[in-house]
Amino acid sequence: KLIAVDQAEAFAPSNIALCKYWGKRQNELNLPVNSSLSVSLAHLGSHTQIRPATSGEDQVILNGQVLTADTPFAAKVISFVNLFRGQQNYPLIVDTRNNIPTAAGLASSASGFAALTLALNQYFQLALPDTVLSAFARMGSGSASRSVFTGFVEWRMGQQEDGMDSHAFPLDVSWPDLRVGLVKVSSAQKAVDSRAGMKRTVETSGLYQSWPAQAARDLETIHQALIDDDFSQLGATAEHNAMSMHATMIASWPPLLYWQAESVAAMQRVWALREAGVEVYFTMDAGPNLKLLFKAKDQLLLETEFPDLEVVAPFAEDSKTNLASESV
Ligand code: PMV
C-alpha cells in the first residue's frame, strides 16, 4: 500500500551521450542493443513537482501549460505514473518545467523522465536505490536512465529479460575544465523521433550490423581516456561514434538524415578549427544541432566562432546538485 506525502519536487539534468545509445533489443522496456556513456549538463534540465489532484482527475502541466490527457506527452506521463501507483487511486498533478533554453535545441525527455521518477520516488516514499530509479527512468525514455546521475555516467545494457540490470551508474571521474557548447541549427520538432528512428535503422540499415561492435569499442576507448585524463582521445572518439551512428541512420530506408545544410557547415567549421590547432570536437543526436566538446581555455574563442553558443560546465563547483536530496 502506497502512502503519499503532501507534495514532492525533484530536478534532473539533461545529458549528452559521448558513446550513443542507438537501437532497442526490446521495445516495451527500452532495453538497448548497446551500452552507452554520457555527461550530464549540470543545472540544465527539468524540475518536476507532484501534488494531489483535488479534482480527482490526473493533470499534466508542461512549462506552465495544462495539457489535455490525449496529448502524446501527457498520455506517456500518465502511463509512466501508473507503473508506480498501479491500481491505487491517487489522482495527481504532474507539473514539469524545463530550464533548457529552447534556443539550445536539446531534447527534454531524458531529464523529464528522470525528474519524474525521482519525484514519484519521494511522493510515494519508496526510497528506491539509485540504480532501480535509473531502471525505472529508462522505461520512460532510454537516455533518462543516465539523467538520474551527474557527471560522467555509464548505462550498461544488461542481460536480464526484465531489464532490472539495464541501468546507469555514475563514474568516479571529474573534469572541471570540460565545456559542452550547444550550437543551435534548428529547434523545429524532428520529423522522425528517436523511437521510430531506431526501429527504422535496426530493420532496414545494412550498416547497423557493425554498430554494436563499434559502440563497444568506443565505450572502452572513452573509459581509457577518462582514466588517462586524455581529452583528445575522448573528443575524437565521441565525434567518431556520433558520425558512425549517423552513418547507420543514413543507410536506412527511407533514408534517415537528421542533418541540415547548417549542420554540415558547423561540422566543417569544427574541422577547420581543429586543423588550426584548436582542440574542439562535436557530437550530434537525432536532430540537426551540434554539441561541441572543448576545454575552458578555448571558451572565448569558440564563442566568437559560434556566436549563439550556449556553454555548460558539467563539473563546475556551483552546479553540483545532490539529486537524491533535492526534495521539498
Ligand atoms: O532516450 P531516447 O529514446 O530519446 O534516445 C536517445 C538517442 C540519442 O540521443 C540519439 C543517443 C543517446 O544515447 O542519447
- Secondary structure (DSSP) of 59-72: EEEETTEEEPTTSH
> Can you tell me the mean pLDDT for 244-271?
97
> Can you tell me the mean pLDDT for 275-286?
97
> Can you tell me the mean pLDDT for 169-173?
97
* 207 three-state secondary structure: helix
Alpha carbon of 38 to ligand 1 centroid (Å) = 10
Confidence check: pLDDT of 318 > 70: no
Neighbouring C-beta atoms of residue 25, cutoff 10 Å: 15
- With a 6 Å cutoff on the Cβ, whether 111 touches ligand 1 is no
Alpha helices in the chain (DSSP H): 72-85, 109-123, 130-140, 194-204, 211-228, 231-250, 261-275, 299-305
Residues in the chain: 328
Q: How far does CA 118 lie from the centroid of its chain? A: 15
- With a 6 Å cutoff on the Cβ, whether 108 touches ligand 1 is no
Confidence check: pLDDT of 31 > 80: yes
CB 213 within 8 A of CB 179: no
Lowest mean pLDDT among 15-24, 69-78, 115-124, 157-166: 69-78
Atom of ligand 1 nearest to the CA of 15: 14
Query: What whole-number distance in Å separates Cα of residue 147 and Cα of residue 179?
Result: 18
Cell of 304: 566568437
- With a 6 Å cutoff on the Cβ, whether 142 touches ligand 1 is yes
> Can you tell me the mean pLDDT for 28-33?
97
Supply the pLDDT for residue 327: 35
Pairing outcome for strands 92-98 and 59-62: parallel
- With a 6 Å cutoff on the Cβ, whether 21 touches ligand 1 is yes
Confidence check: pLDDT of 189 > 90: no
Amino acid in the structure at residue 50: I
Supply the pLDDT for residue 236: 98
Supply the pLDDT for residue 325: 38
Alpha carbon of 4 to ligand 1 centroid (Å) = 32
- With a 6 Å cutoff on the Cβ, whether 282 touches ligand 1 is no
- Indicate which residue's Cα is closest to atom 10 of ligand 1: 285
Supply the pLDDT for residue 2: 87
Confidence check: pLDDT of 322 > 70: no
ipTM: 0.98
Supply the pLDDT for residue 190: 66
Alpha carbon of 142 to ligand 1 centroid (Å) = 7
CB 244 within 8 A of CB 205: no
Report the chain's mean pLDDT, rounded to a whole number.
93
Task: For 248-268, give the DSSP string.
Answer: HHHTSSS------HHHHHHHH
Confidence check: pLDDT of 269 > 70: yes
Lowest mean pLDDT among 48-57, 184-193, 194-203, 237-246: 184-193
Which of 1, 9, 155 shows the shortest CA–CA distance to 94? 9
Whether the predicted model's global pTM rises above the 0.90 cut: yes
> What does the DSSP 8-state code read for residue 245?
H
Which of 39, 58, 155, 49 shows the shortest CA–CA distance to 98? 49
The residue to mutate among 111, 153, 157, 194, having the most atoms of ligand 1 within 8 angstroms of its beta carbon, is 194
Query: What whole-number distance in Å separates Cα of residue 116 and Cα of residue 29?
Result: 17
Atom of ligand 1 nearest to the CA of 107: 4
Confidence check: pLDDT of 162 > 70: yes
Supply the pLDDT for residue 107: 77
Alpha carbon of 15 to ligand 1 centroid (Å) = 10
- With a 6 Å cutoff on the Cβ, whether 194 touches ligand 1 is yes
Q: How confident is the model at residue 326 (pLDDT cuts 50, 70, 90)?
A: very low
Supply the pLDDT for residue 90: 94
Q: How confident is the model at residue 179 (pLDDT cuts 50, 70, 90)?
A: very high
Which of 113, 107, 160 shows the shortest CA–CA distance to 139? 113
Query: What whole-number distance in Å separates Cα of residue 134 and Cα of residue 32?
Result: 14
